[in-house]
Homo-oligomer: A and B are copies of this chain.
Amino acid sequence: MTYINKQWVLKQRPTTTVDSGDLSLQSTPVPPLQDGEVLVRNVYLSLDPTNRVWMSDREQYLPPVELGSVMRGSTLGVVEESRSERFAPGDVVFPGDSGWQLYSVSHESRTGRVRQADGVPLSAYMSVLGSTGLTAYFGLLDICDPKPGETLVVSAAAGAVGSVVGQIAKIKGARVIGIAGGPAKCKWLVDDLGFDAAIDYRDDDVGEALDRLCPDGIDMNFENVGGPIMDAVFSRLRLNGRMALCGLISGYNEEGPMPGPTDFGRILMKRLTIRGFIVIDYFGRAREAMADLSQWVAQGKIRWKDHIVEGLENAPSALDRLFTGDHDGKLMVALSDVPGKG
């Protein structure tokens, strides 16, 4: 059987938000499998702010996606055909060679098995039990290192990463303030996730709200946004404060360097630690995080939301939701039917 793949190919580099002409949807037959390879029908495609960075020819942590290549992206799928002894049709996997496409051909050595727990939807393995969960776990515990009673401020707090960061920090006994856009997200953080407070950056003066909520300063900043929001938090970091720099989404749609806090001298005077990280650095320790995260999910200590957009054709327009905030939970695209368990 010949499979016809559909793939989003990067045609030109966007300079602001992604435009409809920047990518092109192309059809191409899937090549025949070689020994050790599996053919994966992708079910979910993860959309993450970092995807936008990959489209730009700027300094970054992976090479930019080359013009004319399939857009890079993480997927989860089901094995349709296998020339590997390690995988059989029906297995649910993370293919190594993923991307914005319906099918992936993936060598067994680069294919990871998904072991779905009872009662957990498959989409969770793209969010709380996937890369964004790992991002939250290691960035918070490895860099912020929360102590009971310390105060954490997390930006993009209702996002896939931020919402999990805040809940893990609560489990560790910290006081948690989230910054999010709009009253519904703020209410969710406090009422459903147990954040101590939430600041609506669209409606509140973030600096004033932080002064009110954190009169003794801030111990930890899990930073996803950058720009003036980061500056408001940074300028209130107290002695021995830590910032886990996870993202700077406010700068991703612009060309040029991403600016830092106004008063860099505070790092010296307050003996702050600022550390950037990328979740791929922690893939080797994923098991460690998954053990805790799976338990917390099973115990109902961590809640999450997945925002699923239907259809590969909608991937480029859906990506922009990450920048406007017009999404509710981990953003992903459903590419094909979810396989039945069993």
Alpha-carbon gap, A268 to B257, bound state (A): 12
Q: By the criterion CB–CB under 8 Å, are B267 and A245 in contact?
A: yes
Which of B247, B262, B271 meets A257, CB within 8 Å? B262
Residue of B nearest to A260 (CB): B264
A181 to chain B, nearest CB (A): 21
Which of chain A's residues 274-326 have a Cβ closer than 8 Å to chain B? 274-278, 281
Q: Is A59 an interface residue (CB 8 A)?
A: yes
Alpha-carbon gap, A266 to B258, bound state (A): 8
Residues of B within 8 A of A257 (CB): 262-265
Main secondary structure of the interface of A (DSSP, over half): loop
Which of chain A's residues 240-261 have a Cβ closer than 8 Å to chain B? 245-248, 251, 257-261
Residues of B within 8 A of A281 (CB): 271
Residues of B within 8 A of A246 (CB): 268
Alpha-carbon gap, A281 to B268, bound state (A): 12
Alpha-carbon gap, A22 to B278, bound state (A): 49
Mask, A63-77, CB within 8 Å of B = 1, is 000000000000000
Q: By the criterion CB–CB under 8 Å, are B274 and A275 in contact?
A: yes
Residues of B within 8 A of A275 (CB): 267, 271-274
Q: By the criterion CB–CB under 8 Å, are A61 and B270 in contact?
A: yes
Residues of B within 8 A of A61 (CB): 268-271
Q: Is A146 an interface residue (CB 8 A)?
A: no
Q: By the criterion CB–CB under 8 Å, are A272 and B268 in contact?
A: no
Q: Is A162 an interface residue (CB 8 A)?
A: no
Q: By the criterion CB–CB under 8 Å, are A245 and B263 in contact?
A: no
Q: Is A226 an interface residue (CB 8 A)?
A: yes
Q: By the criterion CB–CB under 8 Å, are B269 and A277 in contact?
A: no
User: How many chain A residues touch B (Cβ–Cβ < 8 Å)?
Assistant: 32
A280 to chain B, nearest CB (A): 10
Residue of B nearest to A240 (CB): B281
Q: By the criterion CB–CB under 8 Å, are B226 and A269 in contact?
A: no
Residue of B nearest to A267 (CB): B276
Alpha-carbon gap, A258 to B263, bound state (A): 5
Q: By the criterion CB–CB under 8 Å, are A248 and B262 in contact?
A: no
Mask, A42-68, CB within 8 Å of B = 1, is 000000000000000001110000000
Residues of B within 8 A of A251 (CB): 265
Alpha-carbon gap, A278 to B276, bound state (A): 22
Residues of B within 8 A of A274 (CB): 267, 272-275
Interface centre among A60, A265, A274 (most CB of B within 10 A): A265
Which of B248, B261, B268 meets A276, CB within 8 Å? B268
A308 to chain B, nearest CB (A): 28
Residues of B within 8 A of A272 (CB): 274-276
Q: By the criterion CB–CB under 8 Å, are B268 and A247 in contact?
A: yes
Known: A274-B275, A275-B274. A60 touches B269 (CB 8 A): yes
Query: 10 A-B contacts, Cβ less than 8 Å apart?
Result: A59-B265, A245-B268, A251-B265, A260-B264, A267-B275, A269-B276, A271-B276, A271-B281, A273-B275, A274-B275
Q: Which A residues contact B (CB, under 8 angstroms)?
A: 59-61, 226, 245-248, 251, 257-278, 281
What 7 pairs across the A-B complex have the smallest Cβ distances?
A260-B264, A258-B265, A257-B263, A268-B276, A267-B276, A274-B274, A260-B260
